[in-house]
Amino acid sequence: MKKKLLITSMLMATTLLSAQMSKQEMDEIRSSNPLVMQWVTPQQTPPFDLIKTEHYKPAMLYAIEKAKDDINKIISNTAEPTFENTIVAYEQSGKILDRVSSVLFNMNEACTSDEMQQVAQELTPILTKYSNDVSMNPQLFAKIKMVYDNRDFIKLTTEDRMLLDKVYKGFIKNGALLTGEAKEEFRKASEELSVLSLKFNQNVLNDQNAYVLNVTDKKDVEGMPAYALEAAQQEAKARGMKGYAFTLDQPSYVAVMSYCPNREIREKIWRAYNSMGNHGDTNDNKQVIKDIVNLRLKIANLLGYQSYAEYELEDKMAETPAKVNDFLNDLLNTSMPYAKRDLNAVQEYANNHGFDGTLNRWDFSYWSKKLQKEKYDISPELLKPYFNLEYVKKGIFELAGKLYNLEFRENKSIPVYHKDVQVYEVWDKTSNKFMAVLYMDFFPRDNKRQGAWMTSFREESKVNNNEIRPLIQLVTNFSKPTSKTPSLLTFDEVTTFLHEFGHCLHGIVTECTYQSLSGTSVAHDFVEGMSQFMENYAYEKEFLDMFAVNYKTGDKIPQKYIDRIREAQQYNAGWLSIRQLFFGILDMTWHSIEKPFDGDVLAVEQSASRKAELMSMIDGCMMSTQFSHIFGGGYAAGYYGYKWSEVIAADAYQAFTEQGIFNPAVSSSFRKNVLSRGGSKKPMELYKAFRGHEPTNEAFLKQQGFIK
């Protein structure tokens, strides 16, 4: 009782967040800026047809002022702090800011420009400063702490407790307990860090866009798939070149590495791809990496952690760096004999087919694909005609319908940010409930970063008994249609589509109360399990039969092709495993440093890679300078989560294979107990509610072919 009275007296002298804009400025922005005006579009989607780059800065500044108002109302409230007037009020604050920032930063990834990058660079430290002002406000934190300290005497649901725990610990990890000089150091470090992460990604994108390899001699590309050559010819024509133009966009790069017979060309494009951010110019990322890891270390040290990995892992399933390192090393030891076997098999095959010498990094994919074709009689030319993107999309929609009773209705009246984007409303067929809007952005552009990802423009939540449904974005870099053929996917791209769609489903079917716990708002070492789970369907005849027909003839994919796909499922599993493990080890190496780093970036990578590499490093090339997941994204000290989640995904899918891959009872349980619950309970509790036990390694090791 004494402690509560003391905190209450502290709250009387409130420290409000100061306004930076006049009422007139606020009124002008509110009445004219499409980012903050009421959205009268279908399902209150972003009015992309009205939004221009010059709208972002005033909208963000306006949104920050509105968010300050929300926080000030909590701080100045003289009533005793409660879960509703403090925790829920904080959770529901800054809605316009969430809206504006999600549009800006998602567009900066998928449809950027030089001007937008400049705006993002300018606004990021402003946004970070606001975030620091909130998390370090002593009066706000005192109220939150009061509620947290009395949590055992308050009637709360499980989800309420999860929110309270997340908010309280989030404030602590963002410096709420810091004072004086330490608080200012934390502020400065977090603001600098937010800008550096943007810079890292922009440098990689700049290097990616700057490279093109023009090939004019047909002999150099003889034997490459027709789809790859057609795309390269189309790219050359668009650039005013003769012959073929190959870029570092994923479809182009993979096609060259896998099928180009000219070793010199493969080497050139491999070196270009694997040296992004490492040219000693304005796009060089080595100093950016040093600054990022040192700032992260400083933040961790200020909060009492020895390393950033220790700081980051505290609230993950793995919990500690030691547990992650044990997991990675154990799996590395299991995988290595199979990886060596894979390499030896490809080396032997290459030597028996005219290759003289030891395979280098630009040789492995080429000869591996040849061996795979001979061993399983399978190739992109054979399969791609059956994987028309439009057919695959319809098949995946039908799969979601079978599993979770979802229906996807295209809505062309919803504004899009690029002409290639397709938009669907998602409905529950059983209840006829609107579930989400799904934006699908499939093709490469020079203003779009590499890779594939799922994100959202709005999360699901319930506010004043009104449910707000999510706006989900799925982004890939699949081959564009050409004048002669539709977009045809490789089998790997089919699994990528399923992977990202798994994330989308996690966001679509969510049924939570609080935005910060809904959908994919779960630990990284759990969330990837939901996406990797979906990849399993790519190997199932019942699924492939739903959509895989030849785009020219209309014939179904033959059973013998499906058999070969399944037989090839474990091909190079050891090799692929150590590649992913290397990424996880490299991530943990960078984020386990306990002293400021000013050494050789390459030396760190070489040290980290030594136990997970079977080929020598190549001068001028490294992974670190382009590792956007950890230096430009949210996977710092978390990349291990992909492998961790594979174990979860395999164990979960085993429940389906045991009872039927479309079994309605199993899929209903998976939706109800896992997908729909977001972060409303701890991940292991959710999983055990579905599976009845914790995940084991057995299904994963069998899936990889490491045990019988």
State the catalytic residues: 500
SS3 458: strand
Q: Name 392's Cβ contacts closer than 8 Å, sequence gap at least 6.
A: 489, 494, 497, 547
Task: Report the distance separating Cα 570 and Cα 547, nearest Å.
Answer: 24
Residue in this structure with the two tokens 């890779």, named with its chain if needed: 451
From the number of C-beta atoms within 10 Å of its C-beta (0-12, 13-18, 19+), residue 529 rates as buried
Q: Is residue 112 within 8 Å of 447, Cβ to Cβ? A: yes
Task: Report the distance separating Cα 549 and Cα 459, nearest Å.
Answer: 36
Of 654, 701, 392, give the one whose Cα is nearest residue 538. Answer: 392
Residue 518 phi/psi, 5-degree rounding, is -85, 160
What Cα–Cα distance (Å) separates residue 61 from each residue in 45, 125, 235, 423?
21, 12, 40, 29
Q: Name 651's Cβ contacts closer than 8 Å, sequence gap at least 6.
A: 691, 695, 696, 698, 699, 700
Q: Name 516's Cβ contacts closer than 8 Å, sequence gap at least 6.
A: 91, 163, 166, 167, 459, 679
Q: Is residue 601 within 8 Å of 622, Cβ to Cβ? A: yes
Helix (H) or strand (E) holding 246: strand 244-247
Token code pair at residue 233: 């010819």
Of 506, 465, 512, 471, give the one whose Cα is nearest residue 42. Answer: 471
SS3 473: strand
Q: How far is CA 670 from the centre of its chain?
A: 22
Give the 3-state DSSP-derived string for 313-357, with helices as H, strands as E and coil as C.
Answer: HCCCCCCCHHHHHHHHHHHHHHHHHHHHHHHHHHHHHHHHCCCCC
Residue 124 phi/psi, 5-degree rounding, is -60, -50
Task: Report the distance separating Cα 609 and Cα 598, nearest Å.
Answer: 19
Of 577, 26, 185, 525, give the one whose Cα is nearest residue 323. Answer: 525
Task: Report the distance separating Cα 169 and Cα 146, nearest Å.
Answer: 13
What Cα–Cα distance (Å) separates residue 306 from each residue in 175, 298, 300, 595, 622?
16, 10, 7, 9, 27
User: Alpha helix locations (H) across 33-177?
Assistant: 53-76, 89-91, 95-110, 114-135, 138-149, 158-173
